[in-house]
């Protein structure tokens, strides 16, 4: 029972992305998940509006669209969403491929190299790091002062990688990074 695109059978489902009702008769995306209430390990779906899912899980939507045989309204709009690069969600987590750079939204993050606080609204470099919680390991961003980033990563082409991963980074931020890296 893979991920699926189907017409909504009722208006009871709520989109897992935007938390709004999915109207009856509207195409929706079902993301397959384990049914925690099933004793035999059955599966269930997390339902999303098709456009919401395209922004959240584009690879899964592309696969489901390839197997969907019916017409898709506003298919051009949906394909534009699927082709767009990842953007900031405002809820933490990666905003682009690692490494990336951004202005610190708070003054609470600490540099992984020097262990000093990274001040609010100053540039910081994010690299992927693993966090061991004791029961499992997850990955997420680790932050560095731009001056500490080159030493921590040992990568001479760090600025070029950041520019490639963040084509919309403002010129003044690129200049600030270049001066410190």
pTM of the shown model: 0.50
CA 151, 152, 155, 161 torsion: positive or negative?
Answer: negative
Structural domain count, the chain: 2
| Domain hosting residue 106, numbered range | 100-180
pLDDT, one tens digit for every residue, the chain (181 residues): 589 999 999 999 999 989 999 999 999 999 999 888 888 878 899 999 999 999 888 989 999 999 999 999 889 889 888 888 665 444 544 556 899 999 999 999 999 999 999 999 999 999 999 888 777 888 889 999 999 998 999 988 999 999 998 888 889 999 989 888 8
Residues 124 and 52 reside in one and the same domain: no
**How many C-beta neighbours within 10 Å does residue 174 have?**
16
CATH code assigned at 123: 3.30.1740.10
Residues 114 and 158 reside in one and the same domain: yes
């Amino acid at each position: 029972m893979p991920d699926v695109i189907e017409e909504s059978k009722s208006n009871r489902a709520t989109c897992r992305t935007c938390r709004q009702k999915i109207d009856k008769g509207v195409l929706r995306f079902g993301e397959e998940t384990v049914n925690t209430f099933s004793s035999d390990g059955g599966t269930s779906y997390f339902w999303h509006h098709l456009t919401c899912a395209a922004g959240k899980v584009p690879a899964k939507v592309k696969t489901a669209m390839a197997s969907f045989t019916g017409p898709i309204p506003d298919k051009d709009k949906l394909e534009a969403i699927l082709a767009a690069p990842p953007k900031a969600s405002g809820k933490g987590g990666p905003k682009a491929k690692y490494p990336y750079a951004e202005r610190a939204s708070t003054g609470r993050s600490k540099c992984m190299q020097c262990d000093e606080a990274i001040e609010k609204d100053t540039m910081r470099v994010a690299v992927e790091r693993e966090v061991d919680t004791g029961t499992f390991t997850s990955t997420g961003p680790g932050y560095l002062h731009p001056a500490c980033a080159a030493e921590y990563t040992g990568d001479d082409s760090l600025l070029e990688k950041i520019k490639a991963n963040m084509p919309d980074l403002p010129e003044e931020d690129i200049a600030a990074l270049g001066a410190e890296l």
